[in-house]
Every structure is written in C-alpha cells, then in structure tokens.
Amino acid sequence: MTDTVLRRLGVADLARLVALERTHSRPWTRDQLETLLTDGAVCVLGVEAEGQLAGHAVVARLPFDAELQAMLVAPLMRRRGLAASLLAAVIDQALRWESERLLLEVRASNSGAVALYRKAGFDEDGRRRGYYPALESPALKNPDLKSKAEPQAGGGVATLRGVGPGGAPSAGAEREDAILMSRRLL
C-alpha cells in the first residue's frame, strides 16, 4: 500500500477536490462540492498519496443511519488500497455518529466496488432497476472500437449507451441497475 494521509476535507481543499472530481465521467460541480464541505451533516474524507488528493468519500448523517453518498479514487491511483482505507474511515465516522447502519448504492457493473463492500461486511438489500444512466462508451468517441453487452454478476447485462449488439448504434440510451447495500453497525 502507498504511504497515505487520510483526513477530513474542508473548504480550503475545494480546488483539489474539483480537480479530482473531473477524473470521473459524471463529476459533481464546484457548487455541489462546496455545499457538501460546509454541510454539518456531511463528512467529506480525503486520502492524499504521492503529494496529491488521490481519493475522497462523502458520508452523510441521517436520523438513525449514515449513507455513503460517493467514493472516488483517481484512475492512476487505483489498486493501491486507497478505496479500502477510505471505506474504513467512512465506517469509523458512522460509528462516531452512533449510526445504526451504513447504507450505500453502487452500479451493478462496478464489480470491484461491489467486492470491496462485500469484503467490508455489506449485504445486498435490493436493486433499483434502470436507476443509473449508462456510462459513456469508448465506441461512441471512436467508431473503430466495437462494444458488446457483457453478462454481469447477478444475471444482469450491462450495455453501453448508444451501442447495440456488435457495436452498432442502438435507439435510445440504456440504463443500469443500482445495487442497494447496507452494513449493520450497532
């Protein structure tokens, strides 16, 4: 694992947080991030590695539970244990709040995140069918790339927006399931 510093982020970290979010396909806006950083019921945790903000997690305090609203690790910093460190810090924060459970939702196709959450003791509570918009397809940006639907864990099929069987354009955007997960804390 990389040497890291994990801490609560504040408004002074906004510019670095915005830059990190821009590595995501659907980044939160500067205003949304500033609102999170100043909300007393929200904790934004950051992990620094190699002198940069390498990841963040957003956890919100609810009346009886806590909810992991987002977690992101910069693409070049993945596979170093940073997401696991962030998740452990989120769990610690929820315990400090004396939350009964920690809730989250995750894209069905995000097998790495699903495996991380299961390893950390989260169970699947259900699914929201067609909840997420499809992710941007590389085939849409480069017509020389072909994409096909791939079977997913749980029996679903992930398809890329605008790309049908054999990489041909499809009519309308495909959507993706959200897996609802929770872990009992108290």
Give the residue numbers marked as catalytic: 105, 117
Residue type, 149: A
Beta bridge partners of 106: 179
Burial class (CB in 10 A: 0-12, 13-18, 19+), 128: middle
> Does residue 82 contact residue 47 with C-beta atoms inside 8 Å?
yes
Alpha-carbon distance of 40 to 61, in angstroms, equals 9
